[in-house]
Chain A
Amino acid sequence: MVRIYAIKDPLVENQIFLSRVVAIFVFILFVMVGLVARLIYLQITGHEHYSTMAKSNRIKSLPLSPTRGIIYDREGRVLAENIPSYSLELVPEQIKDLDNTLLRLQALLNISDEKIAQFLKQKKREKHFSSIPLLLRLTDKEVATFSVVRPYFPGVDVHARLLRHYRYGLLTAHVVGYVGRINEKELKSLSVAQYRGTHHIGKIGIEKTYESQLHGQTGYAEIETNAQGRAVKTIASDDPIPGADIYLTLDIDLQKTAYNALEGQNGAVVAIEIKTGGVLVFVSRPGFDPNPFVYGISQKAYNEFQQSVDQPLFNRALKGQYPPGSTIKPFLGLAGMEYNVTEFKHKLFCPGFYQLPKFKHKYRDWKKWGHGLVDLNDAVTQSCDVYFYNLARTLGIDKMHDFLQQFGFGQKTGIDLVGEKAGLLPSKAWKRKNRNLPWYPGETLITGIGQGFIQVTPLQLARATATLANKGKVVSPHLAARIDNSNYTSTHSSTEETQINLKEKNVEDIISAMVNVIHGARGTARTLREGIDYQIAGKTGTAQVFTVKQEEKYEEEGLDKKLKDHALFMAFAPASEPQIAVAVIVENGGHGGSVAAPIAGKIMRQYLSSASLCNRRDC
C-alpha cells in the first residue's frame, strides 16, 4: 500500500494559523466585552439593589428589651419585681436537626410535650437568629445537668433573663395581676416594634391596665453579624427606656389582714381611703399564685383552677355581683328624707310583716315578731325590714333608682382594673327594656331591703360607703397613686369632683343611725366597739341566696353551704372625721353582723391605730 503524504506548505499553514489567531482574538475580545457588560449590569445598574442586600445580609437589628417597671404598695414595698432566672434557649438557625435536638433535650431535662409545642409556636413568629426560650426558670440542678452536655447541643444555651415575680403571690393576684406569654390574639394588636424583644405582657390587674407604662420603650442595636449569625460588632444602638415604676395606694399589711380574716371563706374586701379614693385593700378570696402564670402554667394546673368550685381565678371584688341586702338601707333612708317622704323621727309600727294593700302576700321581717314602734334610727340600727318596705313603697322604684345611681350603684366605678362589672340598679325602664315586663309593686318592696334585681359589686359598695362618709362628695376609687416620680393624677378623682346634692342634717342623721349599729344598745354589729377610742359608722347586711317560701322558716343548720345567705358589711371610720370606708362580702357566710363586720373591724382598727397613722402622717 502506498501512502501519499501531502506536501507541507509552511506559507499556507502560516496563513491559516494567522487568520485563526485573528479570529480567536476577535472572539476573545467579544467575550470580554460581554463579561464587562454583565459587570456593568451588576455593579452600576444593580448596585443599589445589591448594596441593600449586602447590608441586610450583615446588619441585624437586635431588640433591646426594656426592664419592666416595678410595682410597689403605698409604703414602697415591692409587689411585683424582676428577678434574674436561667432559661434554656434555642437558636433554631444554628441547630442542624431541630426535632432530634428537642427530643434529646426532652429526655435530658424532662420537658413536657406542651412546652415543646409552645416553643414551636413561638418559633414561627420570631425573627431569624433570635434566641427562643424553651424552658424558663431552670433550677440549679437543671442548669448543671445541661452545662455538662452543652457541647453536644450547638445552638442551645442557658441564658439569664429577668422574670417577673410576685412576692405576695396569692395576696395580690387579683389586684396586681400577672404577666404571661404573649398569645396570638394579643400579638395582632401589639406594636411589633415595641414587643420584638419582649415575651411577656400584662394579662390582668394593674399589669394589664398599665401595660404601656410598665413595659417601657424597646431599644434597638444594629449588630453586624456574620453568616453564622454571630455578632461581630455593634454599629449603632438606641438604648431601651425602662418601664415606669408604679406606686399603688394599696397597703399590703392591710391587704394581708383582710385576706387572712377571710380564712376558710370565699368573699371579697375592699377598703378605700376616703379623701383620695385610693384603694387600700382589694381582696378576693380565694386567691391564686400568679407566679406559675409567668413561666407557663401547665394545662393541668390551669384546669384545676378553672374547675374548682371556689373559683379562685374569679375576681369577686371587681366582678362579683351580690344583692346588697340591708347595706342598702342607709342610702334608702337618706333618700326618704331627701325626697321628704319620711322624717328621721317619724315612727312606724313593725308587726313583723308588711302587706301591700289588696294583696295577701306577707313580706316578712327578719325578726318574726317584729320590732314594734321604730323610727328611721331604730330601723337602721336594728335593720327593720318593714320600715323599709314602707319607705320603698312611698318612694317608688324610679326615685330609688335615681337616688342610688348618684352613689354609683349600677355603674362601673372606673377603677384602674380591667373587667369591672357594673352591678344592677333596676328601674321600671330597665325592666321594660331588658325583661319586657311591667314593674310589679312587690319588686319595689324587696328592692327596699336590697333584694330582688338589685346587685352590687364589693367595690361599688365600698365606693358608695365612702361617698356617703364624704357627705355626698363622690369618691372615685383607683389603685395607682403615682407612676414613677412624675405625679400621677388619676383621671377619675380629679376630673369628676361630683357633689351629690344632700341636706347636711339628713346626712348627719343617717350617719348617727349607722354609728348606732355599732355603738347603740341594740345595734347589729355591737362587737366592733370593743377597745376603740373613735366611732365607727356601718351597716350589716344578709343577702338571701334563695327564697324562703311563704310560711316556711329559714333554717340555717340544715342548709347546704352554697345556699346559705351572703354576709355583708359596710362601714367607715372615724364617724366624726371619716378616713377609711370598707365593704366586706362573705359568700354564704350567714349573718353580716357576726361574720362580715369583724373583718371590716380589723381593717379599720389596724388602719386607724396610732402607729400606722403616725407613719402615714410623717411624724
Chain B
Amino acid sequence: MISETKGEQFHPPSVIGTILRKLHIDIPLFIGLILACALSFLILYSASGQNITVLIRQATRIGVAFVLMIVLAHINPRQFYRHSALLYILGVLLLIAVLFVGLVGKGAQRWLDLGFFRFQPSEMIKITTPMMIAWFLSRYSLPPKPKQLMLAGLMIIIPTVLIAKQPDLGTSLLVASSGAAVLFFSGLSYRFIMATCAVLASLTPVLWHFMKDYQKGRVLTLLNPEADPMGRGYHIIQSKIAIGSGGMHGKGWLGSTQSKLDFLPESSTDFIFAVFAEEFGLSGCLGLLILYLLIISRCLYIAVQAQDTYNRLLAGSLTFTFFVYVFVNIGMVIGVLPVVGVPLPLISYGGTSMVTLLAGFGILMSIHTHRKFLPS
C-alpha cells in the first residue's frame, strides 16, 4: 500500500491514467474483463453458428453491464455500507413477490415484470446478501460470535430457500456460497466449518429426500451418463465428446462439429465451455483458466487492500462467488458436477448474469478506487 502510494507520487499520472482514475476504473481488472469479453465474442460467434444478431445482442448487454459497473464504481463504498440492510430486505421482498406474481420461463418462476423491463430479483440478491452479512458482521468484532453466526446463517438461508423454491438451484447455490464466503472471511473457526460440513454430509440422505425428481436425475446422470445416452445422459455425453475431441490444440476457431451440427445443446449458453474446449483444445482451456485466475487474483488483491472490514468481506465474497461461477459451470460441462444452470462467467450468452457479475466488479472497483491515502 505504501509502495503504491509512493509510486503514484514519483510518477506523475498520465492523462489517460488521470481520466481512468476519475472514472474509478481499476486498470488490471478492467483489462482482464475486456479480454474475457473479447473471448466471449470470439467463441459466441462460432457457437451461435456465426450469427451476427447474437453478437450484437451480447455486445449490447456487455455495454449496459459495463456502464452499470462504472456507475457502481463511482459510488462510495460507504453508501453500499449504509444501504446494505435496506437493499437486502428489498431483495427478499421482491423474491417473495416473485413467488406470487412472477413470470414463468423455462419451467421456473424467476421474473418480475416491471413494465418497462423484466427483472430477476434473484440476481440482485446475489450481491445484496453478502452486503447484508458483511454489514452485519462488521458491526461487531471479528471473528463472529455464535449468536451473530446464527443470525447471519438465517440471512443466508432465507433468500437461498426462496430462490430454490422458484426453482433455480444454480442461483440459490451461488447466493448461499456468497453468504458463506463472508462468514469464512470473517474468521469462522475451521473447527466450526468442519463440523458444519460433517453435519451437511450426514444430512445428504435427508436432502436427497427433499430433492425433486429431475434434480435426483441430474445427480444420477452425473454418476453414469451412459445409462440413458439419448435422454438425460445426452447433454453430458455430447459435452464430453466435444471437449475430448478437441485434444491438445483443438479443432481451430469455427471448427467445432459438435456445436455446429447441433449435437451439443445449449452450446451458446451454459455449455459454451465445451465449444471453447473443442475449438481451442487443452492449451486454450489452460489460457482461459489462467485468465480467470488472474482476475480472481486481482480481486483478492483488492480485497486485501480494502481499508475496512465491510469492504474486505464484501470484496472477498464477491470474488469467491465469481470463482464458484467458474467452478460450477466448468465442473458441470466436464462432467464432475451435476447439471445446474450456471453460466460460464463473462463468456456465456445471456444478459442477466453478465449484468450482475459486472455490478460486482463495479463494487470491487469502487472499493479499490475510493481508498483514502494517508500522507506518509
Contact = CB atoms under 8 A, between A and B. Distances in A.
A17 B289 contact: no
B124 interface: no
A51 B256 CA distance: 12
A43 B243 contact: yes
A37 to B, nearest CB: 10
Contacts of B181: 24
Contacts of B316: 17, 20-21, 24
B257 interface: yes
Nearest to B312: A17
Interface string A1-19: 0000111111011101110
Interface stretch (B10-18, B36-44, B205-213, B245-253): B245-253
A47 B243 CA distance: 8
A615 interface: no
A223 to B, nearest CB: 11
A44 interface: yes
Interface string B314-352: 001000100100010011001110000000000000000
Contacts of A43: 243-244, 246-248, 277, 281-282, 285
Interface in B227-272: 238, 240-248, 257-258, 260-263
A385 B336 CA distance: 98
A83 interface: no
A428 to B, nearest CB: 71
Interface stretch (B75-83, B161-169, B296-304, B364-372): B296-304
Contacts of A187: none
Contacts of A226: 260-263
B300 A42 contact: no
Interface residues of A, number: 44
Nearest to A232: B261
A150 interface: no
Contact of B241 (A14, A31, A36, A53): A53
A38 B241 contact: no
A5 B140 contact: yes
B146 interface: no
Contacts of A36: 285-286, 289
Interface residues of B, number: 50
B245 A54 contact: yes
A341 interface: no
Contacts of B320: 24
B304 A17 contact: yes
B300 A54 contact: no
Contacts of A12: 142
A35 B289 contact: yes
A349 interface: no
A227 interface: yes
A449 B326 CA distance: 101
A329 B369 CA distance: 125
A16 B303 CA distance: 13
Contacts of B309: 8, 10, 13, 17
Given A5-B140, A44-B282, A47-B245, A28 B293 contact: yes
A554 B248 CA distance: 97
Contact of A13 (B141, B242, B293, B335): B141
21 contacts: A6-B140, A16-B187, A17-B187, A17-B312, A21-B300, A24-B181, A28-B296, A31-B327, A36-B286, A43-B285, A47-B248, A50-B244, A53-B244, A53-B245, A54-B241, A54-B242, A57-B258, A57-B263, A58-B261, A225-B261, A227-B263
The 5 A-B residue pairs whose C-beta atoms are closest, nearest first, are A50-B244, A6-B141, A54-B245, A16-B187, A227-B262
Interface of B: 140-143, 181, 184-187, 238, 240-248, 257-258, 260-263, 277, 281-282, 285-286, 289, 293, 296-297, 300, 303-304, 308-309, 312-313, 316, 320, 323, 327, 330-331, 334-336
Given A6-B140, A9-B141, A16-B142, 18 more contacts: A10-B308, A13-B141, A18-B304, A20-B184, A25-B297, A39-B334, A42-B240, A42-B244, A43-B243, A43-B277, A43-B281, A43-B285, A46-B244, A47-B245, A47-B246, A57-B238, A226-B261, A232-B261
